Amino acid sequence: MTDVDPYPAPVVAATDLPVPSPPPVPDTVSDAMRRLRDKAASGNTRAAHLSDWGIFTRWCDSTGHTPLPATPEQLGWFLTEKAAELRPDGRWAYAPSTLSRWVSTINKLHALAGHPRPGQHESVRELLRGIRRDRATPPARRTPLLTDDIRTILVDMRATARDGEWPDRAAERRDSALLLIGLAGALRRSELSGLVVSDVVPHRADGLYVTVRRSKTDRQARGRTVTLPYGSDPHTCPVCAYRRWREVLDAWDDEGRDALAALLAGDADGFENHCCRGLSTGGSDGDRPLFRPVHRSGSLGAGALSGQSVHSMIQRRARRAGFSPDLVATLGGHSLRAGFVTQAVRNGATTQTIMTQTGHADERMVALYSRHHAGLVGNAVTHLGL
């Protein structure tokens, strides 16, 4: 017979065992983790999150609420008040898309803090659906700038530069390159402002290969390359415009103000002949921003031109070229990308060849431009004999 201990030791469940505390995360690792999290979104996105969160926290302060954590009822109250706000001219202060973005930001910050997302509650979702339905209006779209529109703007600003001083000629060279590269490359304003010198590589046969490293629809920064061909007209050749701007950029960076002033002193009529052949890859510092501010004094800024500055430049140049105020108000950075698609459709390009340059993944986006700005292309109404 086997001896049995009448007083066996109590069985300790694995879950009752003391769990050792994990070691603290070293400061170096914590800093690296923070830097990697910061890279999950662009600088513009982080700035938008901070702005959105500031709007919500200020509202909470004014109403006696705690912003973190927030309840679905509290968030619904916030959205209802903001949805009813009006501008001095009687228009709604905030679009439904803005309200939805606020909810996304609030959800994200709650999740990062380990709290439930209040915007995922069905009551908040229903509220947003009601706001969108109540405000159902066609989205505001930028008017495309077609090739002739760009030519008109170029003629005007080059005449102005011809009669002005050398700082005016530096600004003309930059703006000409922006307009022609933006149009030919079907680039967004954020893509233009994000270009650095090494992103543009001259090609002897094809023109320019432009690498767009990151874009609105490319969050993982896989990148894409667009080709800008040599133009038949030196006035509108994207490669000529690029070379003329690079001369300005390199003169300023290599030798400074005096060298740039000397380069542009006699730059009155430089558009009658091509200057695009035989381009070199330029200086060794490929991380320089390609498009930079040009001050009234002729000095070049060190940082990249902002997307808002691209938008403002297009409106300013169009206004000076004689475009009507109503039309100018509908122009912006996206007018170049929209202009590429619209002009290509009007000239008979296929959807697939257009998408090769624009990077669109959905044919419906190209069709949208066609319906709004090239409605007679491929339309049977032209066969009615009216």
Confidence (pLDDT) at 351: 86
Any idea which of 38-52, 57-71, 183-197, 321-335 has the lowest mean pLDDT?
Answer: 38-52
Q: Which residue has the higher pLDDT, 20 or 294?
A: 294
How far out from the chain centre does Cα 8 lie? 72
Residue with tokens 């380990």: 114
pLDDT class of 200 with cuts at 50, 70, 90? very high
pTM of the predicted model as reported, rounded to 2 decimal places: 0.70
267: Cβ contacts below 8 Å, ≥ 6 apart: 161, 166, 169
Residue 94, domain CATH: 1.10.150.130
Judge if the upstream peptide bond of residue 202 is cis by omega within 30 degrees of 0: no
pLDDT digits (tens, 9 = 90+) for 84-133: 888 888 888 888 889 999 999 999 999 988 899 999 999 999 999 999 88
**Which residues is 210 bridged to in the sheet?**
200, 226
Record the tokens describing residue 51, joined without a space: 């702005």
Mean pLDDT confidence for 124-149:
86
Q: Which residues of 341-374 are buried (b: 16+ CB within 10 A; e: fewer)?
A: bbbbbeeebebeebbebbbbeeeeebeebbeebb
Q: Is residue 19 part of a domain?
A: no
Q: Is the pLDDT of residue 322 over 70?
A: yes
Residues 122 and 219 in one domain: no
Residues 190 and 309 in one domain: yes
pLDDT digits (tens, 9 = 90+) for 213-272: 876 665 665 778 999 999 999 999 999 999 999 999 999 999 999 999 998 887 666 677
Query: Element (H or E) spanning 181, and its range?
Result: helix 166-185
Q: Is residue 274 part of a domain?
A: yes
**Which residues is 149 bridged to in the sheet?**
none
Residues 166 and 79 in one domain: no
Distance (Å, whole) CA 142 – CA 266: 37
Mean pLDDT confidence for 34-47:
70
Residues 128 and 64 in one domain: yes
Residues 124 and 154 in one domain: no
Number of structural domains in the chain? 2
Confidence (pLDDT) at 356: 87
Record the tokens describing residue 175, joined without a space: 């703006």
Range of the domain at 248: 147-372
Query: In terms of Cα–Cα distance, which of 274, 122, 291, 323 is closest to 197?
Result: 291
Q: Which amino acid is at 9?
A: A
pLDDT digits (tens, 9 = 90+) for 244-260: 999 999 999 999 999 99
Write the DSSP symbol of residue 300: B
Helix (H, G, I), strand (E, B) or coil at 38: helix
Q: Is residue 14 part of a domain?
A: no
Q: Which residues of 108-146 are buried (b: 16+ CB within 10 A; e: fewer)?
A: bbbeeeeeebbbebeebeebbeebeeeeeeeeeebbbbb
Q: Is residue 8 part of a domain?
A: no
E strand residue ranges, the chain: 200-203, 207-212, 224-228
**Which residues is 294 bridged to in the sheet?**
300
Q: Is residue 322 part of a domain?
A: yes
Distance (Å, whole) CA 41 – CA 39: 5
